[in-house]
Amino acid sequence: FNIILPFRTGEVSFFYLLKKEGVHIVDSTMSFLITRIFDGLGLMAVFAFSYLTFKGFLSLALMSFLIIPFSFYVFVFILKFIKHEKVKSYNKDKLRFSNLSCIYLLSVLTFILKFTAFYFVIPTQIDISFFQTILASAAADLTTILPIHGIAGIGTYESGYAGSLIFLFNIDKNTAFLLSFLVHTFILFSSSLLFVLTIVYFKFLKNKNYQNFR
């Protein structure tokens, strides 16, 4: 839903599904905020690392990868002013350094694996390196946080992907937009497939397993 619906309205599905599972609104809100913040930090880390490496600043790229996640503690600091008991309990139980480090690394790994899949979608006849794919994909994903993010990200995603290839690597405009179309189509298809599989699981398999357990 989040990929298809405009202006990030698909985020509502996160709360709806957790509510159906009996998760308290405070817990679902905290989980959502942490997930989204670390998605953003992981994406920025991948983009910064790729861009700085492209510019030849490898030591600065490594430094940015290590420093960026610590900006999360600004959020932790703000939470200290919220006196709600469930928020305080969540902060104490979940926001440990080991947990946060794991979430950050998993976020980064998720983006790397996602962008690697994009690389294998690109036809071999097109001369584009793995590194160029990573940087272009990171730039494209950054457009998804924009408030003008339209239906299925059509237009904004392609602009981010193709724009980075054109301005950073001087790749032909037609080729760049062709690649952006292929990658975006792959995202929509794979996301739709995961959606269908998830629906099948929750509608049939989960209920069946629950009945067998009883």
Per-residue pLDDT tens for 97-135? 888 888 899 999 999 998 998 888 888 878 888 888 888
Question: Quick one: tokens of 147?
Answer: 């408030």
pTM, full prediction: 0.76
Q: Are 166 and 176 in contact (CB under 8 A)?
A: yes
Per-residue pLDDT tens for 44-62? 999 899 888 888 898 999 9
Instruction: Name the amino acid, one letter, at 192.
Output: S
Question: Quick one: tokens of 172?
Answer: 């032909």
Between the alpha carbon of residue 153 and those of residues 5, 13, 56, 125, the distances in Å are 8, 17, 32, 27
